[in-house]
Each structure stands twice: as C-alpha cells, then as structure tokens.
Amino acid sequence: MRPDKLAIIIPCFNEEEVISYTIDELDILMDIMIDEGLISAASQICFVDDGSKDKTLDIIEKTCQNNTRFSLIKLSNNFGQQNAMIAGMFNVNADIYVTIDADLQDDHMTITDMVQKYHDGCEIVYGVRNKRETDTFIKKITAILFYKLMNKIGVKLIYNHSEFRLLSRIAVEKLKTYREKNIFLRGIIPLIGLKSDCVYYDRLLRPAGKSKYSVLKLFSVAWTGITSFSTFPLRLITLTGLLTFLISIVIIIYSLFSFYTHKSIKGWTSIIMTASFFSGMIILSLGIIGEYIAKVFIEVKNRPLYHIEKTLNIK
C-alpha cells in the first residue's frame, strides 16, 4: 500500500457548538489511519470557514496554531457549502480528498472504508446513508421527490448520497475542468466517470448546533440542481405550446362550425378564433426561443466533452 496523503475537507458555517468535538474526533481518526498504514503522516484536516459570524474561526485558528495537522482556508464571505468544498479541494495538495460536514452526521469512521476502496483502485467513493431516520418528515419527503424528479428529467444522481465522498487526485483534476458557476457537485461527480464505489453508513443526529439549511435554502439547492443539469423546463414550454396550438385548431374548427350553423352570437367566432390561435402561437414561439436558450446554456457551461481514463500505444 502506498502511504498516500489524505486531506479531509470540512466546510464550516457558524459551527461553534460542534467544531471542538469534530476536531477531536477527526484527530483520533487520523491517528488510527496513519497507524494502520492507510495514509501518510503528512495527511491534513482542512477546515474551510464559509464566512462564519460566531467563534468557529477562533476555535479553528487556535487548533491550527497548536497542531500543524490542521489547516484553515477562510473565505471572505458566506459562499455556500458547495463553493466552500471546492475551495478546499482546489487549494489543498493531496492524493486523496474526503469532504464531510462539520457536524459529523455522516459517520466519519466510514472514511477508513472509503480509503480502503481507494487503495483497491477506486477514484471516487460515495458515502451513502442506509436510512433517513434522523431526518425530519419534510426533509424525507422533499428528498424522495427530488431524487424521483431528477431521475425523470435524466440527471444521474446517487440515491441517498449527499456531500460525504472521497475523490482521488485524478478525480479532482477532472472536476477542475467543469467551469460552470452554478455548482451542484452531486450531479457533476457522476459525470466524471472513473472507477467508483459506495460505502454505506447510518446517518447520525447532529451532536450540537442547528442545521444551516432552512426549507427555503434546501429548495434553492434543489433548484440549482434542476436548472444546472436539465433543459427540461424549457422543453416543457415547447410541448405546452404545441399542445395549445393543436387545441386552438380544434377550437377554430368548432367556432367556424357554430358560425355557419348560426349557433353563435355575432362577433364570438372572430374573437375566439384570434384568441385561441395567437395563444397557441405565442406559447409555441416562446418554446422555440427556449430551445435556442437551452443550446446557449449548454455551450456557456463549456463542460468537457470527455475524460480519457487510459491510453495504450498512443504516440
């Protein structure tokens, strides 16, 4: 086994109640993994402070001063969990990267299994929770609906996987080639491909502090997920336009029929014909514009067309 350098990346936003516990737990875990020869002694625990307003930063700074195993990246403002994790992965030099939430709700002891899978040849290892017993009712329902919807509109997601994952240096290099700004890592990572696997764990309760995600913030993440990965909402306008247009033809035929059989009052036929015809045309036109916007959206994201995993005899 190679003694590869591990970096555990922890995004933190107002985590003063829990951060000391996290520091102690991860320190112990690092010792265990180094003793077992899974990782090198130069491995790092990197906290990314995402603009905390409480004592989180003070606690991390003091820890870094006493122990060089710990490091800090302080962001100048609250940029959100996704950006904080990216800042960590793109600014720390390591062979293996593991991202985990500061509250250690995702059982950190599973990191050992993740690293083991990395040594078995995996470039990406997803942490997948077994059950959602510790989640609130709203979170459970919205999560199930979200996965179902994403699946329907063709976005590949790992079911019950959030932001607890291992990425090898190679996987992080590939991730850097995705230049989009509306980041939704759960959608991008499966696009990278490479050899991957899952480790399963029971999600624990938050030991202290409150969730940083309100229902509104959860919806905002879900909306980023949908709109960064799918042009389906735009396609829906085209489909609605086509349907309205077809219905308008039926309405026009009916109104002409009423006109010639003298069933309609004066003026009704012309009003209903123009109203239904132009409604159909307007929605259809919006849909066609949407189709072009969808193309621009895909071009602007400038995603890599492919990733080469291996070549042989290429000169």
**Exposure string (b/e) for 48-67, b if CB count within 10 Å is 16 or more?**
bbbbbeeebbebbeebbeee
Q: Integer distance in angstroms from the first to the last C-alpha of the chain? A: 31
Candidates 87, 89, 97; CA nearest to 50 is: 87
Which tokens sit at 315?
């000169």
Cα 50 to chain center, whole Å?
17
Q: What is the DSSP string of 69-108?
A: TEEEEE-SS---HHHHHHHHHHHS--SEEEE--TT--S-G
Smaller CB distance to ligand UDP: residue 47 or 245?
Answer: 47
Q: CB 202 → Mg ion: shortest distance, Å?
A: 14
Compute the half-sphere exposure of residue 122: CA atoms within 13 Å on the CB side of its CA. Answer: 18
Compare residues 183 and 273 and give the one whose CB is closer to ligand UDP.
183
From the list Mg ion, ligand UDP, none, pick the one residue 165 interacts with, judged by a Cβ distance below 5 to 8 Å according to partner type.
Answer: none
Considering only 7, 92, 98, 102, the residue that binds ligand UDP (CB under 6 A) is 102
Q: 218 or 252: whose CB is closer to Mg ion?
A: 218
Question: Strand pairing partners for 165?
Answer: 99, 126
Determine, following the binding rule CB under 6 A, whether residue 78 of this chain makes contact with ligand UDP: yes
Least distance in angstroms from the C-beta of 79 to ligand UDP: 8
Least Å distance, CB 145 to ligand UDP, is: 16
Angle at 124 between CA 123 and CA 128, to 5 degrees: 155
| Segment lying near ligand UDP (by CB under 6 A), choices 23-31, 74-82, 194-202, 231-239 | 74-82
Which segment (121-129, 208-216, 238-246, 280-288) binds ligand UDP by CB under 6 A?
A: 208-216
Instruction: Compose the 85-124 pattern: x for residues touching Mg ion by CB under 5 A, - for all others.
Output: ----------------x-x-x-------------------
User: Using CB distances below 5 to 8 A depending on partner kind, what does residue 80 bind out of ligand UDP, Mg ion, none?
Assistant: ligand UDP
Minimum CB distance to Mg ion smaller for 100 or for 114: 100
| C-alpha to C-alpha distance for 122 and 195, rounded to whole angstroms | 5
Burial letters 157-178, b for 16+ CB under 10 A, else e: bbebbbbbbbbbbebbebbeeb
Site of interaction with ligand UDP (CB under 6 A)? 11-13, 15, 50, 78, 80-81, 84, 101-103, 105, 211-213
Site of interaction with Mg ion (CB under 5 A)? 101, 103, 105
